[in-house]
């Protein structure tokens, strides 16, 4: 049997991540040799590989682990404040693999139980249908108007912060077309000079955020009420609460705060 004692173990119950407490009142991802032997009985275990050659294990517990002197479970989002950035990012990928595994147990074409052939591929033994982790792609865009940017508060935001316009890519669209459509649907505005900024995996539960910067081109602001509760153009001097640093939304806003009207 392969030795997994030195591998990092990303242990989840739903979206709660298990962290190992240390003597310095810090928390980290546990190694295989540190896990209680009875913890993973009946658990689903997946190998997760990274482009730098690393391998970790993702474990889906059937029951949560109670907090004690050695262990604590925190939400995946909240783990951003507890972990090194690389470990938080690895936790996101581990969670996405577990989410895919849970939602690909049966063939969507014929209903037969699937069989896993590689860490990221399952196959139906009946009809041959292949299943890979499905990534939902969404755009997010910072819209500039002179020395202001558009910030909105969506009904589904956790908290009172204001963020950027975002939405999922539809079939047959380019990413730039998605930017134009989402901005028009949610705000009634037209945009121009759409430029790519960057991207970010978003494991809530399995997405990819693609960031853009665009300039206001026209129209009167009319918020889509079923999506947005408030919004408007804000200058540096009157910004509302903005997203946390874990998101690409915050990276876009921070870029604007530093570079303003420059080109990305």
Looking at residue 41, what is its pLDDT? Answer: 82
pLDDT, tens digit, 9 for 90 and up, residues 195-219: 999 999 999 999 999 999 999 999 9
Looking at residue 141, what is its pLDDT? Answer: 99
pLDDT, tens digit, 9 for 90 and up, residues 11-49: 999 999 999 998 777 899 999 999 988 888 888 999 999
Share of the chain above pLDDT 90, in %: 86
User: What average pLDDT does range 240-257 have in this prediction?
Assistant: 97
Cα 92 from Cα 120, distance rounded (Å): 15
pLDDT above 80 (res 192): yes
Domain ranges of the chain: 9-102, 104-133, 136-259
Confidence band for 2, pLDDT divided at 50, 70 and 90: low
pLDDT, tens digit, 9 for 90 and up, residues 45-72: 999 999 999 999 999 999 888 889 899 9
Cα 8 from Cα 202, distance rounded (Å): 21
pLDDT above 70 (res 115): yes
pLDDT above 80 (res 1): no
- φ/ψ of 144, rounded to 5, equals -100, 140
Looking at residue 52, what is its pLDDT? Answer: 94
Cα 116 from Cα 97, distance rounded (Å): 12
pLDDT above 70 (res 183): yes
Q: How many alpha carbons fall within 13 Å on the CB side of residue 201?
A: 18
User: What average pLDDT does range 110-136 have in this prediction?
Assistant: 98
Candidates 3.30.465.10, 3.30.1390.10, 3.90.79.10, 3.40.50.300; correct CATH number of 9-102?
Answer: 3.90.79.10
CATH architecture of the domain with range 136-259: Alpha-Beta Complex (3.90)
Which residue did the predictor score with more confidence, 263 or 193? 193
């Amino acid at each position: 049997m392969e030795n997994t004692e030195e591998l990092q173990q990303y242990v989840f119950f739903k979206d709660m991540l298990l962290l190992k407490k240390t003597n310095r009142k810090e928390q980290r991802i546990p190694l295989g040799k540190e896990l209680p032997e009875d913890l993973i009985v009946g658990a689903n275990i997946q190998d997760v590989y990274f482009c730098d050659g690393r391998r970790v294990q993702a474990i889906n517990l059937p029951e949560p682990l109670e907090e004690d002197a050695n262990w604590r479970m925190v939400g995946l989002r909240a783990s951003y404040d507890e972990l090194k950035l690389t470990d938080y990012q690895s936790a996101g990928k581990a969670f996405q693999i577990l989410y895919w595994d849970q939602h690909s147990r049966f063939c969507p074409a014929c209903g037969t139980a699937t069989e896993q052939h590689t860490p990221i591929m399952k196959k139906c033994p009946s009809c041959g249908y292949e299943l890979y982790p499905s990534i939902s792609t969404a755009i997010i865009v910072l819209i500039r108007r002179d020395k202001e940017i558009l910030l909105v508060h969506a009904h589904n935001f956790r908290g009172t912060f204001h963020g950027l316009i975002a939405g999922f890519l539809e079939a047959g669209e380019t990413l730039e077309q998605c930017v134009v459509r989402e901005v028009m649907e949610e705000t009634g505005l037209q945009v121009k000079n759409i430029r790519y900024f960057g991207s970010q995996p978003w494991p809530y539960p399995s997405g990819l955020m693609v960031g853009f910067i665009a300039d206001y081109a026209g129209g009167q602001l009319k918020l889509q009420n079923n999506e947005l509760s408030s919004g408007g153009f804000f200058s540096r001097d009157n910004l509302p609460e903005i997203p946390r640093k874990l998101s690409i939304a915050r990276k876009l806003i921070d870029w604007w705060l530093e570079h303003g009207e420059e080109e990305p």
